[in-house]
Amino acid sequence: MKIATYNVNGVNGRLPVLLEWLAEAGPDVVCLQELKAPQEKFPAAALRDAGYEAVWLGQKSWNGVAILARGESPAETRRGLPGEPDPGQSRYIEATVNGILIGCLYLPTGNPAPGPKFDHKLAWFEAFIGYAASLLARGVPVVLAGDYNVMPTDLIGPADARCLGAGGSRGVAASTAPHDDVEAPAGSGVQGVVAAQGVSAPAQGGSLAVTLDCGQ
C-alpha cells in the first residue's frame, strides 16, 4: 500500500494540480492538509471521478484535513483529536483503509513564539502524544501522517535538496504499524516510522508530498 501526505494549501484552488499528481503518482491513500474549504465545498465528486473516495473535515479559509482512498471508501473512525485545546479548528481526521488505521493531522504552526499561539501548539502536541500512545497500546497497524509543522533535523527542512519547492511546507508521515521490516530514519527520534520511498513537490503545487510504502 502506497500512502502519501500532501499539504495542498487550498484544495479547490489546487484541484487541477492535485488531480494531475494523483494520476501520476497513483497513491493508494492520501492525507491532505490545509483544505481551506468548508465541509460542503470539498470537491468529492471530482476526486471520485479520479478514482478516489474521501472523508474530510473542512473549515472555511483555514485548516481542514482529508483522507482519500483509491478504489474504496475510507471508514471514518474519528473527527477531531481527543482533548485538543480548540475543537473548533479542523486539524484531525481518522479512518481505516484496508485494515490500517490512518490518522491525518495538521498541527498548529505556533508562530510567533513565545506567545499564546505557541502555547496552543504545545497543548495540541500533548493531546496528540497522549492519543497516539493509546493507539500504540491497541497493537494494530496505525499511520499518523500529515503536516507536523516541525523540523527536528535538516532531513525534512529546506536544507534538504529534496524538499526545495515553492512554499516550503513540511509534509511528515509517521507510522506505528508493527512491521518487522519498518525502521525509523536515523536521527528521527521516532520509533516505527515507515521509510519514505519517494519525496516530491508536485509541479506548481507549492507543497511537499511524502510517499510511503507500507509493504502491503
Q: Show which residues are catalytic.
A: 106, 147
CA distance 156 to 149: 10
Q: Cell numbers of 65, please? A: 484535513
Bridging pattern class, strands 29-33 and 52-57: unpaired
Sign of torsion over alpha carbons 96, 97, 98, 102: negative
**186, 196 contact by CB (below 8 A):** no
CA distance 199 to 193: 15
Bridging pattern class, strands 75-79 and 65-70: unpaired
**143, 177 contact by CB (below 8 A):** yes
Residue 122, helix vs strand vs coil = helix
CA distance 122 to 115: 11
